[in-house]
């Protein structure tokens, strides 16, 4: 090719790439920036949003001021294909601007945001089941940079697919250091803040960490308020107008990240400066502002929030007692008819507080109880440490013995029915979950039997049922030693009494005589 | 006195008594009757009500047609003193009639209707605590007259202060006889009913039985719909308009009886012809029509109703599993923040169905668990009988061993704090109920210890708290053998660790080594 032609081709490609419509993958974050006013107070004065349209699908996303005269709108397309948009603002420079972009097919690992599925469970928007297995590091993202990087590295090889953390900094035992940034401009030394402005670097950093988690396939369960401030900074007792503006701003910035969940508060009832009605208002703001209806809940201290409210997607519950047996854990499902996530069940660790001294065995036991009940459980770790770095608060490295067992549980969950593990006959056999006539997971907890009479419930009501003649295989799972041992042969259902089936040949299942044993019973496919 | 004077005086008294204003005691049932139209269909055509006024207090009570051209209005005055009333109707003959009556002070045993008190408990309107202890005889009032009388006689000496029963007849195993009356005119042989009329004798009989219970000091938990018909009569599948008219009619007739509670349904979710939205409508009708806001709930089969709804006063729950330990029973309190009544926890009896074969020990055990949890439990009895008379359905005589133990429990409840038994530290010590620093009731259930380390929780949060130096006495209660044994001396609180007090001298409580033992620990009053 002659030099002239090469230059022509080069120029042609240059022009093409300049003219090319921007693109983002479906459920990715499309963003555009505009220059706007810098006079006055952009955070207070400027209204800015954009309407995104694809055929009859029309979605309004809030815009936000990102400092230095830059205004941004972010949008998460829920369908592939062409999208157009048009801005709206109370200032001419930002109003009525139009554009378009193309949403491409999602790439590997992008399944969209997590939604409620089968009433009590979760699935990604593309239908892939999401088996929730969360942990908590309340303010990992406000620790020194190197520690944040270590946390991300730890998460990359941990079994967790969700992490709970706070937007605001936390001050509490083992966490009395100041954060690397503050959400408002002001003077940290005297806790004086300009609540009429946001510190954009703070939010930029926060969303970078949300994006980092997204790359790891981890959902970010973002906690919007918490009580662990007690007036030290005062972010737990801002005026109502500031609370509301903060929520509008945060949702505009974060909603277009597909891995975001909203947790209105941690231990909402311990926030003595707030009333229950404040959290009702917060929930209404977030659910109205968020065009994608990300998962939304609120976590309790001693007092449960009313999770029957329509804008609450799932029950986020602190209650370690409830997961000490599957039967208890199941009771809240019946109330809420929503997924129940026991986000705080006490932590694996050795601190003096009774909420932070579970053995690894006990925490794994609680996860299994929650699983059998058709609910979900949350991890946390509080091992004393000379460097004052406890995973539960700051992240860093995991020291406990539970995560590897939770990885084993995760494998079991990934192999479970796509419509979820359901209680089978919970008031009689709380130790049995599954899908009737298809799959049973039976957990024997702290008992150590050497034998199990093969018994399958035949409850009087229910959808799909087991029936005589159905054949099943049994595997024995040692949930602590992480082994799966198949039992030879098949078991064939025969009516035992009005409420149970046994095996037609009266077979039972030999067990190792150790605690923490489960059985996985699967229908033999014809 | 001369004969003439005697006659004069006699006449004077006669005239006085003729002119005397009618009177009824406060919370009694004032009723007046008027003659009205008999043409057309009075049940459909006539609107009739009366407004009762005392000062600024003004209450509208619905009227009803009682047959033979008689129209009635009933009213329960909530204050003593003079009341006036004025009728309203769409027919002239019944419209604008005025009258007055006097409400006198309530007589002994009349404490008014039962209300919610201290969030989770009950009290009569005059403030007297009401310690709920209920039983169930679903259709006792539609059995032959002699059996009804036997039931009333049994109740007169039983510990129960509430009974659940159905308005409509029931057809179910052990209850396949026809009722003595039917709610609508028609032909029972072919289950053909004139739904445009009510059989007034049916409702007259029902309210007579409510009045009989009132005389015994027993609350009537009237079940408005139930599934045990399955189309035999079809009262479980009437058109919506008939359902609604029935509710208006029933509330007009019964609301002025102070001992009425409304139970929208038994096992609402087993009524396959009804939707959940139907029961929402029923609840709204009853709560709107009832001027006195009697206690109102709805009982479930397998699916809990949403007891957070504002018109539901307390959670009426079927769940025997939940009361197998106090910790489970307590969980529903946290959800509803209302009184929780476990109205069905399976029954003492020996029938083949697993819901009707509890031992007396087990049923009493469940009552105690519910009590410790700050909730309430319900009795029922299903002993097989040659005469097919099972208490649970038809009433008659009690055969079981639990009622006498429930009478013992009732005595313990009557001696408990007026603000109710509350969980003290439920996620750690579910076996302890009471009022912190004042009164503790500790139930050891099926364990048989010979000794109990004196330990009182000092939870980190709570209202009134125990404190070092407080002195307590201990009584050992054998809940099965019905004995109360005081432990000699006093116990003085001394901090044991961050979460508990012990006795300053390290004393423990000797126990009999039998199951079903409780301890009652009371603060020594100075």
The percent of residues above 70 in pLDDT, for chain B, comes to: 95
> Are residues B428 and A321, on separate chains, in Cβ contact within 8 Å?
yes
Residue B384 CA: distances (Å) to CA of B79, B223, B226, B361, B401: 47, 25, 23, 18, 15
Give the gap in angstroms from C-alpha A325 to the nearest C-alpha of chain B. Answer: 10
Residues of B whose CB is below 8 A from A306: 308
pLDDT tens-place string over residues B2-14: 555 666 655 555 4
Q: How far apart are CA B107 and CA B464, in angstroms?
A: 36
CB contact under 8 A, A427 and B321: yes
- Pairwise CB contact (< 8 Å): B321 & A430: yes
For residues B288 and B311, is the Cβ–Cβ distance under 8 A? no
A173 closest CA partner among A396, A408, A356, A411: A356
Residue B149: other Cβ atoms inside 10 A? 13
A471-478 vs A98-104, strand pairing mode: unpaired
Out of B306, B320, B332, the one facing A308 most closely (by C-beta) is: B306
Which parts of A348-419 are beta strand (E)? 348-349, 376-379, 381-382
Contact A352 B498 (CB under 8 A): yes
Report the distance separating Cα A183 and Cα A225, nearest Å: 13
Do residues A358 and A404 lie in contact, with contact meaning Cβ atoms separated by under 8 Å? no
Nearest to B478 by CA among B441, B420, B429, B519: B519
- Closest Cβ opposite residue A308 in set B308, B334, B426: B308
Question: Three-state secondary structure along B472-489?
Answer: EEEEEEECCCCEEEECCC
Which of A332, A427, A428 is the closest to B331 by Cβ?
A332
pLDDT of B351 > 90? The answer is yes
Cβ proximity of A37 and A92 under 8 Å:
no
Portion 275-314 of A in contact with B at CB < 8 A:
301-304, 306, 308
Q: Which residue of A has its CA nearest to B461?
A: A302
Q: Suggest the residue from B335, B428, B429, B436 to mutate for an interface test with chain A (most A CBs closer than 10 A).
A: B335
Of A308, A328, A354, the CB nearest to B327: A328
Contact flag B332-A327 (C-beta cutoff 8 Å)? no
Alpha-carbon distance of B228 to B271, in angstroms, equals 8
Q: Which residues of B touch A271 (CB under 8 A)?
A: none
What residues in A contact B422, CB-CB < 8 Å? Answer: none
Rounded-to-integer distance, Cα A136 and Cα A165, Å? 6
Asked if A211 and A76 count as a contact pair (C-beta separation under 8 A), the reply is no
Nearest beta carbon to residue B304 from set A303, A335, A353? A335
What 8-state DSSP symbol labels residue A186? Answer: E
SS3 A403: helix
Partner residue facing A304 (CB), from B304, B334, B430: B334
Contact across the interface for B331 and A334, Cβ inside 8 Å: no
Q: Measured on CA atoms in the order B316, B317, B320, B323, is the torsion positive or negative?
A: negative
Question: What is the structure's pLDDT at B18?
Answer: 47
CA distance A398 to chain B (A): 27
Q: Is A460 on the interface with B (CB under 8 A)?
A: no
- A-chain residues near B331 (CB < 8 A): 319, 322, 328, 331-332
Q: How far is CA B480 from CA B54, B118, B367, B403, B404, in A?
A: 51, 29, 12, 11, 9
Q: Does B334 touch chain A (CB under 8 A)?
A: yes
- Is the Cβ pair B426, A321 closer than 8 Å? yes
B191-196 contacts, C-beta under 8 A, 24 or more apart: B191/B231, B191/B232, B191/B233, B191/B234, B193/B233, B193/B234, B195/B238, B195/B239, B195/B242, B196/B41, B196/B43, B196/B44
Threshold 0.90, pTM exceeds: yes
Rg, Å, chain B Cα set? 26
β-pairing, B57-65 vs A422-423, is: unpaired
Is B428 within 8 Å of chain A by CB?
Answer: yes
When CB atoms are compared, the residue of A302, A335, A461 closest to B302 is: A461
> Are the C-beta atoms of residues A446 and A456 closer than 8 Å to each other?
no
Q: How far apart are CA B375 and CA B88, in angstroms?
A: 43
Identify each DSSP E strand in B80-144 by its residue range: 81-89, 98-104, 114-117, 121-124, 134-136
C-beta neighbour count of A127 within 10 angstroms: 11
**Residue in chain A nearest B326 by alpha carbon:** A328
Residues of A in contact with B353 (CB under 8 A): 498
- For A427, nearest residue in chain B (alpha carbons): B321
The pLDDT of residue A74 is 98
Shortest Cα distance from A334 to chain B (angstroms)? 6
- Residues B111-138 have a mean pLDDT of 98
Average pLDDT over residues B62-66: 98
Is A485:A457 a contact under the CB 8 Å cutoff? no
- pLDDT for B9 equals 58
Q: Taking all residues of chain B, what is their mean pLDDT, rounded to a whole number?
A: 95
3-state secondary structure of B233: coil
Average pLDDT over residues B495-514: 95
Chain B CB within 8 Å of residue A497 CB: no
How does residue B460 score in pLDDT terms, banded at 50, 70 and 90?
low
Which residues of chain B neighbour A340 with C-beta distances below 8 Å? none
Comparing CA positions, the residue from B337, B295, B339 lying closest to residue B317 is B339
Q: Is residue B16's pLDDT more than 50? A: no
Q: Which pLDDT score, from 0 to 100, does residue A18 have?
A: 47
* Pair type for strands B500-503 and B456-457: antiparallel
Residue-level pLDDT at B171: 95
State the ipTM, two decimals: 0.91
**Phi, psi angle pair for A71, to nearest 5°:** -115, 140
Which pLDDT score, from 0 to 100, does residue B466 have?
Answer: 86
pLDDT in tens, chain A (526 residues): 455 566 665 555 544 444 568 999 999 999 999 999 999 999 999 999 999 999 999 999 999 999 999 999 999 999 999 999 999 999 999 999 999 999 999 999 999 999 999 999 999 999 999 999 999 999 999 999 999 999 999 999 999 999 999 999 999 999 999 999 999 999 999 999 999 999 999 999 999 999 999 999 999 999 999 999 988 999 999 999 999 999 999 999 999 999 999 999 999 999 999 999 999 999 999 999 999 999 999 999 999 999 999 999 999 999 999 999 999 999 999 999 999 999 999 999 999 999 999 999 999 999 999 999 999 999 999 999 999 999 999 999 999 999 999 999 999 999 999 999 999 999 999 999 999 999 999 999 999 999 999 999 986 555 568 889 999 999 999 999 999 999 999 999 999 998 999 999 999 999 999 999 999 999 998 6
- For residue B299, pLDDT over 70 is answered with yes
Per residue in B166-220, pLDDT tens?
Answer: 999 999 999 999 999 999 999 999 999 999 999 999 999 999 999 999 999 999 9
């Amino acid at each position: 090719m002659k030099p002239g032609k090469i230059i022509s081709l080069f120029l042609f490609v240059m022009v093409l790439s300049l003219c090319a419509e921007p693109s983002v993958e479906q459920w990715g974050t499309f963003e555009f920036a505009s220059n706007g006013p810098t006079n006055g107070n952009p955070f207070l004065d400027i209204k800015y949003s954009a309407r995104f349209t694809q055929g009859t699908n029309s979605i309004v996303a809030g815009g936000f001021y990102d400092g230095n005269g830059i205004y941004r709108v972010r949008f998460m397309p829920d369908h592939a294909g062409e999208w157009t948009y048009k801005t709206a603002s109370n200032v001419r420079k930002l109003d009525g601007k139009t554009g378009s972009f193309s949403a491409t097919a999602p790439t590997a690992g992008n399944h969209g945001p997590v939604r409620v599925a089968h009433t009590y469970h979760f699935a990604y928007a593309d239908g892939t089941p999401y088996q929730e297995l969360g942990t908590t590091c309340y303010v990992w993202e406000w620790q020194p940079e190197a520690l944040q990087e270590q946390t991300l590295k730890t998460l990359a090889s941990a079994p967790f697919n969700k992490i709970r953390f706070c937007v605001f900094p936390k001050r509490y035992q083992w966490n009395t250091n100041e954060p690397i940034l503050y959400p408002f401009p002001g003077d940290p030394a005297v806790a004086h803040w300009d609540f009429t402005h946001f510190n954009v670097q703070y939010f930029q950093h926060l969303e970078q960490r949300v994006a980092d988690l997204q790359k790891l396939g981890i959902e970010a369960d973002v906690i919007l308020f918490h009580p662990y401030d007690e007036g030290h900074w005062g972010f737990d007792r801002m005026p109502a107008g500031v609370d509301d503006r903060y929520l509008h701003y945060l949702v505009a910035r974060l909603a277009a990240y597909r891995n975001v969940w909203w947790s209105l508060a941690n231990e909402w009832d311990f926030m003595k400066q707030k009333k229950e009605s404040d959290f009702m208002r917060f929930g209404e703001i977030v659910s109205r502002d968020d065009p994608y209806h990300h998962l939304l809940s609120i976590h309790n201290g001693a007092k449960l929030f009313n999770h029957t409210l329509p804008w609450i997607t799932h029950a986020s519950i602190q209650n370690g007692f409830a997961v000490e047996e599957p039967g208890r854990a199941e009771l809240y499902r019946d109330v809420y008819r929503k997924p129940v996530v026991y986000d705080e069940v006490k932590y694996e660790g050795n601190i003096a507080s009774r909420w932070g001294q579970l053995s690894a065995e006990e925490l794994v036991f609680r996860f299994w109880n929650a699983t059998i009940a058709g609910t979900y459980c949350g991890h946390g770790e509080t091992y004393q440490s000379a460097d004052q770095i406890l995973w539960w608060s700051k992240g860093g490295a995991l020291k406990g013995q539970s995560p590897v067992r939770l990885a084993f549980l995760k494998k079991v969950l990934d192999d479970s029915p796509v419509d979820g593990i359901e209680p089978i006959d919970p008031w009689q056999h709380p130790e049995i979950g599954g899908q009737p006539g298809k799959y049973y997971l039976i957990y024997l907890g702290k008992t150590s039997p050497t034998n199990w009479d093969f018994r399958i419930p035949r409850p009087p009501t229910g959808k799909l049922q087991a029936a005589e003649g159905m054949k099943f295989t049994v595997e024995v799972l040692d949930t602590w030693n992480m082994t799966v041992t198949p039992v030879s042969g098949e078991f064939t259902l025969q009516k035992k009494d009005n409420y149970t089936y046994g095996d037609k040949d009266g077979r039972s299942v030999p067990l190792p005589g150790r605690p923490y044993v489960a059985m996985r019973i699967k229908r033999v496919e014809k």
